Copies of this chain bind each other. A is one copy, B any other.
Amino acid sequence: MSGCSVRHYTLQISTQGKGTTEITNEVAQCLRDSGVHEGLVTVFVRHTSASLVIMENADQSARHDLHEFFDRLVPENTPWYQHTCEGPDDMPSHIRMALTRTSETIPVTGARLQLGTWQGIYLFEHRRASHWRDVFITVMGVS
């Protein structure tokens, strides 16, 4: 039992159109800065056309196939979409976000993220254009 520390960080992540960008190192840097040894890191994407996924970090082909799967499951130019004011990638981006995650909570012990060996944290961009995306990091726990 001891005092509870809460620290917040905002990451601004540059994305290059549709696909996944690894942010594991950036999240780990927030944890180091916080001084928290035991607790939780919460990652929260502040957008509805980008999302999170914890994904295999070794072989790029896994992420290639993940992108391809979502392009096929939620295609652009579907005739029944009504929400197309920002272009053919507008509505698919919201659906792909809803099918993945907005927040993830990762345990911390011994001042380290307890990710598995092959797990990386990825920001998943669903729009065609490049964007700056805000990812909010909260580290909560004890020193």
Contact = CB atoms under 8 A, between A and B. Distances in A.
A101 to B, nearest CB: 7
Interface residues of A, number: 63
Contacts of A107: 8, 42, 44, 136, 138
A109 to B, nearest CB: 5
Interface stretch (A11-19, A23-31, A80-88): A80-88
A8 B38 contact: yes
A78 to B, nearest CB: 9
A53 B73 CA distance: 19
Contacts of A49: 56
Interface string A125-143: 0000000001010101111
